[in-house]
Amino acid sequence: MGRRSKNKQGVPPSFDEFQARKEKKDAKRKRTEEAIAEKPAKKSKDINYAKSNDSKKTKSSKPKKNTKEEEKSEEPEDLPEVDYEELASAKKSLFDDSDEEAPEAEAEELDDEFDIGSDNDVEGDEFYDSDEDDRAKPMFSDDEDDMETLNAANMEALSRKLDEEEELEAEEAERELVEGATQPKAKILPTPEEEALLQKGPQDLTMVRTRMIEVVKVLENFKELAEEGKSRAEYTNRLLKDISEAMEFFEANEIARPITIRTNTLKTRRRDLAQTLVNRGVNLQPIGSWTKVGLQIFDSQVPIGATPEYLAGQYILQAASSFLPVMALDPQENERILDMAAAPGGKTTYISALMKNTGCVFANDANKARTKSLIANIHRLGCKNTIVCNYDAREFPKVIGGFDRILLDAPCSGTGVIAKDESVKVNRSEKDFIQIPHLQKQLLLSAIDSVDANSATGGVIVYSTCSVAVDENEAVVDYALRKRPNVKLVESGLQIGKEGFTSYRGKHFNPSISLTRRYYPHTYNVDGFYVAKFKKIAPSPHDISKAGAKEKESLARSEAEEEGIIHDDFAEFDEAEDKEIIDQTMKRNLKRKGINPSSVLNKNK
Amino acid sequence: MRPLTEEESKTVFTKLANYVGKNLVHLIDRPDEPYCFRLHKDRVYYVSESSMRLAISVARPNLVSLGTCFGKFTKSGKFKLHITSLDYLAQYAKYKIWIKPNGEMPFLYGNHVLKAHLGRITEDTPEHQGVVVFSMNDVPLGFGVTARSTIDTRKLDPTAIIVFHQADVGEYLRDEETLF
């Protein structure tokens, strides 16, 4: 390998290297400029000196490995005997140098550096090409002639210089490495106080997601990226905690919920029923302290849906989660209540039972086929105050309004009951997730309009779904709150459940949505569920409207259309004033084209 | 939905009287709330007047059921009691029969009541009398018609039928499609 190889252009740096260098350079330049700005009074030589120092440092970092390798390969050829001690001392002096460098050591370099400094200034704003810089390096390009006449005398000095450069590079590289390692060593794990906070409320999903990604990154390269004083176990635990909620949810979706039954208090008492069923060989126990009518079945020697007690209407098979909206509704005796989506009647019969067969319950379902099971359950459980009708619930204030309470257990995607119906996982398309919330919003508005705001006992609307999707729950409730300012959310009165989300993925909902309740399969071992309880505080203009679904739809459409059109009130036009301005513009345009405006305009006239 | 005609009322009341006898008046004159019978799509519903008034708002094609369904008129004009009326029948029944636990399931599957399953029976039940069938712990299971009078049953062998099956609560499962 010839000496000239040094002069050749090195391998071009990778894009990353290039970027890093550029940034560094920029930062340094800035620093220098700042320094200059700070000390404008200083002599120009000083400034140049400082600059040259900076630029030298910059330069020295540039060749990096390429030159390093070249030099290494060259050393044994040209310099068989190198005084390492001498080198070390030289290095030391170099480390010390900074601003008060020994003038004589620098003397010969100074000339060159002055040039570079000025170069730097010239190049200041231009695009920096590091390769060109490399070539402009005094050591190689300018000393070319000297190299030709290399002799034993200057050889040592030269080699020392080379070594110094190398040393500087190494130092620079090291610093870079350290910097690179420290940078992602950000604090990822939450402190104990934060942890306690996390335990409480709903978490910010984006934050959890970033944390999970960061933790995984750390675990991939634990040695270098880990925060000091933290063990691998701490990271894995955090990760597990973050994931666990989702994992628990997925796992819980695979396990069937326990079979639960609701005692029909119209016909029997829970204790009597439990005794009879135990005698039949059923292993059961009360669901929990939050309900007085629920029983949980562990195993049974007889089919639980065909015992004489079942047929006699002493109980109904009903998911524990289905108790919740009715408990929130809290029906009172002698009220008029509407169940907008009633089939198969679990909730309707519960309402009827709580009212002790007084008042009147309207059980509506849009699906005629499903009303059969609804009627069967109503009669089997001995509910005598019900009226079953088959309407699209959106028509409701038109059919009959003025209800004391309304339960809207809205049709939903069923993401809370995957354990019951696996097909939810494959059957739902994106379209469903647009259409279903739309229907739910319409239903909820209908429900609100059908309630009697002046009801002495009620004026309550309960909205529930067996879905965990925010689009079908909080978003719908928020929509209703916006569209009907005469309703407010109230405490649901349920003992269990997590607060509804007030913000989700950048959407911010009404803060009162925290009064709604969410239920997850993995936390309460009930189906995924959502309950919101409204209270109507004032009648709305919509109450008078007897419009059904179709009329309301067209009304909303025409309203939206009307909003888009700008009528006469947009702006006033002053014809005379405009004429002047138009003429002026025309003249200007003609002039610009090189035409005499007076000739053309007069001709037109 | 409309009130029953004279003739229809007569048919219905005769049928009911077969089971509840003179207690029929309790169905009409209730101490708590006035109740009434209404005919809707061949079916006879027993409903409180307040509920009935609210149900007027519901259009005929959309009204599916109200109150308690007692039964339906057949095409030939006869009245058939449905199991859904059991609550009221059991409450006011004049003659009752209790069956042993081992007879519950056969009855709930639609079979007649055999003498072997007989637990208790109201004294001096006449022949061909409508009776309500209870389990031994007083849960109404259905109704039927006696095949023999109480006195006659004593002489029968254990496999003989003593109550002809008419309706049982098992129909809620078996006949859900046709019943409603």
Q: What is the pLDDT of residues B6-32, one digit of tens each?
A: 999 999 999 999 999 888 898 888 888
A313 contacts chain B (CB < 8 A): yes
b/e for A442-469, b at 16 or more Cβ within 10 A?
A: bbbbbbbbbbbbebeebbbbbbbbbbbb
Two structure tokens written together for A278: 């135990």
> Does the structure show a pLDDT above 60 at A286?
yes
Two structure tokens written together for A378: 């109503």
Compute CA distances A293 → A262, A314, B104, whole Å: 5, 11, 26
A546 to chain B: which residues are within 8 Å by CB?
A: none
Q: Are strands A360-364 and A386-389 parallel, antiparallel or unpaired?
A: parallel
ipTM of the complex: 0.94
Residue B152 binned pLDDT confidence (cut-offs 50, 70, 90): confident
Q: Phi and psi at residue B54, in whole multiples of 5°?
A: -65, -35
Q: How confident is the model over A317-338, as a mean pLDDT?
A: 90
DSSP string for residues in B57-80: TS-GGGEEEESEEEEEE-TTS-EE
> Does the structure show a pLDDT above 90 at A117?
no
Enumerate residues 24 to 43 of chain B having a beta carbon within 8 A of any beta carbon in chain A: none
The three-class DSSP label of residue A124 is coil
Contact A162/A78 with Cβ under 8 angstroms? Answer: no
Q: Are strands A460-465 and A405-409 parallel, antiparallel or unpaired?
A: parallel
Per-residue pLDDT at A227: 72
Whether A376 sits inside 8 A of B176 (CB atoms) is: yes
In angstroms, the CA A47 to CA A117 distance is 9
Q: How confident is the model over A60-87, as a mean pLDDT?
A: 48
A357 contacts chain B (CB < 8 A): no
Per-residue pLDDT at B180: 76
B63 to chain A: which residues are within 8 Å by CB?
A: 387-390
In angstroms, the CA A529 to CA A322 distance is 8
Amino acid identity of residue A113, one-letter, is E
Whether A385 sits inside 8 A of B67 (CB atoms) is: yes
> Does the structure show a pLDDT above 50 at A118?
no
Q: Which of A166-180, A368-382, B163-177 has the lowest mean pLDDT?
A: A166-180
Contact B20/B94 with Cβ under 8 angstroms? Answer: yes
The residue ranking higher by pLDDT, B123 or A551, is B123
Nearest CA in chain B to A377: B172
The residue ranking higher by pLDDT, A438 or A246, is A438
Which parts of A are annotated binding residues? 341-347, 365, 392, 409
Contact A532/A424 with Cβ under 8 angstroms? Answer: no
Angle of helix A432-450 versus helix A474-483 axis, rounded to 10 = 40
In angstroms, the CA A444 to CA A542 distance is 13
> Does the structure show a pLDDT above 90 at B131?
yes
Q: Is A360 a catalytic residue?
A: no
The three-class DSSP label of residue A229 is coil
Q: Which of A303-317, A354-368, A533-547, B105-119 has the lowest mean pLDDT?
A: A533-547
Residue B83 binned pLDDT confidence (cut-offs 50, 70, 90): very high
B54 to chain A: which residues are within 8 Å by CB?
A: 336, 360, 362, 387, 400
Whether A388 sits inside 8 A of B64 (CB atoms) is: yes
Q: Does the CA dihedral A150-A154-A159-A164 come out positive or negative?
A: negative
Residue A107 binned pLDDT confidence (cut-offs 50, 70, 90): very low
In angstroms, the CA A591 to CA A586 distance is 9
> Does the structure show a pLDDT above 50 at A120?
no
Contact A259/A296 with Cβ under 8 angstroms? Answer: yes
Nearest-neighbour CA in chain B from A557: distance (Å): 27
Q: Are strands A517-519 and A529-536 parallel, antiparallel or unpaired?
A: antiparallel
The residue ranking higher by pLDDT, A165 or A286, is A286
> Does the structure show a pLDDT above 80 at A99?
no
> Does the structure show a pLDDT above 60 at A285?
yes
Nearest-neighbour CA in chain B from A390: distance (Å): 5
The residue ranking higher by pLDDT, B91 or A572, is B91
Residues A300, A305, A306: CA angle, nearest 5 degrees: 95
In angstroms, the CA A351 to CA B20 distance is 30
In angstroms, the CA A43 to CA A40 distance is 8
Of B105, B108, B172, Cβ closest to residue A376 = B172
The residue ranking higher by pLDDT, A7 or A154, is A154
Q: Which of B41, B51, B134 to mutate to test the interface with A (most CBs of A within 10 A)?
A: B51
Per-residue pLDDT at A62: 45
Of A311, A386, A400, Cβ closest to residue B169 = A311
Q: Are strands B130-135 and B140-146 parallel, antiparallel or unpaired?
A: antiparallel
Percent of chain B with pLDDT over 70: 100
Residue B143 binned pLDDT confidence (cut-offs 50, 70, 90): very high
Contact A277/A317 with Cβ under 8 angstroms? Answer: no
The rounded mean pLDDT for chain A is 74
Of A276, A314, A380, Cβ closest to residue B172 = A380
Q: What is the dihedral of CA A361, A362, A367, A369, to 10 degrees?
A: 60
A55 contacts chain B (CB < 8 A): no
The three-class DSSP label of residue B131 is strand
Enumerate residues 68 to 107 of chain B having a beta carbon within 8 A of any beta carbon in chain A: 68-69, 83-84, 87, 104-105
Enumerate residues 395 to 414 of chain A having a beta carbon within 8 A of any beta carbon in chain B: 399-400
> Does the structure show a pLDDT above 60 at A63?
no
> Does the structure show a pLDDT above 80 at A169?
no
Q: Phi and psi at residue A266, in whole multiples of 5°?
A: -75, -25
In A320-364, the DSSP E strands lie at: 336-339, 360-364
> Does the structure show a pLDDT above 90 at A141?
no
> Does the structure show a pLDDT above 80 at A2?
no
All residues at 6 or more sequence positions from A442 whose CB lies less than 8 Å from its CB, including other chains: A394, A549, A552
Two structure tokens written together for A87: 């080198």
Q: Which helix (H) or strand (E) holds A310?
A: helix A308-311
In chain B, the DSSP E strands lie at: 2-3, 35-40, 43-48, 63-66, 68-73, 79-81, 96-99, 113-114, 118-121, 130-135, 140-146, 161-168
Q: Which of A279, A334, A352, A388 to mutate to test the interface with B (most CBs of B within 10 A)?
A: A388
User: What are the tens digits of pLDDT across the range A441-487?
Assistant: 889 988 888 888 888 888 899 999 988 888 888 888 988 888 888 88
- Between chain A and chain B, the number of residue pairs with CB atoms below 8 A apart is 96
Residue A219 binned pLDDT confidence (cut-offs 50, 70, 90): confident
| 3-class SS letters over A363-411 | EECCCHHHHHHHHHHHHHCCCCCEEEECCCHHHHHHHCCCECEEEEECC
Looking from the CA of A585 toward its CB, the CA atoms found within 13 Å total 6
In the block, tokens 């109740």 appear at: B35
Nearest CA in chain A to B58: A399
All residues at 6 or more sequence positions from A525 whose CB lies less than 8 Å from its CB, including other chains: A252, A257, A258, A320
Amino acid identity of residue B25, one-letter, is V
Of A306, A373, A391, Cβ closest to residue B176 = A373
> Does the structure show a pLDDT above 50 at A60?
no
Residue A13 binned pLDDT confidence (cut-offs 50, 70, 90): low
Q: How confident is the model over A567-572, as a mean pLDDT?
A: 64
> pTM of the predicted model, to two decimals?
0.65
In angstroms, the CA A380 to CA A354 distance is 16
B58 contacts chain A (CB < 8 A): yes
User: What are the tens digits of pLDDT across the range A370-421?
Assistant: 898 999 999 999 999 999 999 988 888 888 888 999 999 988 887 877 777 7
Two structure tokens written together for A494: 């349920």
> Does the structure show a pLDDT above 60 at A162?
yes
A279 contacts chain B (CB < 8 A): no
In angstroms, the CA A260 to CA A286 distance is 9
B136 to chain A: which residues are within 8 Å by CB?
A: none
All residues at 6 or more sequence positions from B87 whose CB lies less than 8 Å from its CB, including other chains: A382, A384, B68, B140
> Does the structure show a pLDDT above 70 at A66?
no
> Does the structure show a pLDDT above 80 at A549?
no
Which of A524-528, B144-148, B150-154: highest mean pLDDT? B144-148
Two structure tokens written together for B23: 């207690």
Percent of chain A with pLDDT over 70: 64
B178 contacts chain A (CB < 8 A): no
A317 contacts chain B (CB < 8 A): no
Q: Phi and psi at residue A120, in whole multiples of 5°?
A: -55, -45
Whether B48 sits inside 8 A of A384 (CB atoms) is: yes
Q: Are strands B2-3 and B118-121 parallel, antiparallel or unpaired?
A: unpaired
In angstroms, the CA B165 to CA A178 distance is 92
Nearest CA in chain A to B135: A308
Per-residue pLDDT at A64: 45
Q: Which of A76-80, A361-365, A581-585 has the lowest mean pLDDT?
A: A76-80
Set A360, A383, A389, A466: catalytic member: A466
Residue A493 binned pLDDT confidence (cut-offs 50, 70, 90): confident
Per-residue pLDDT at A405: 92
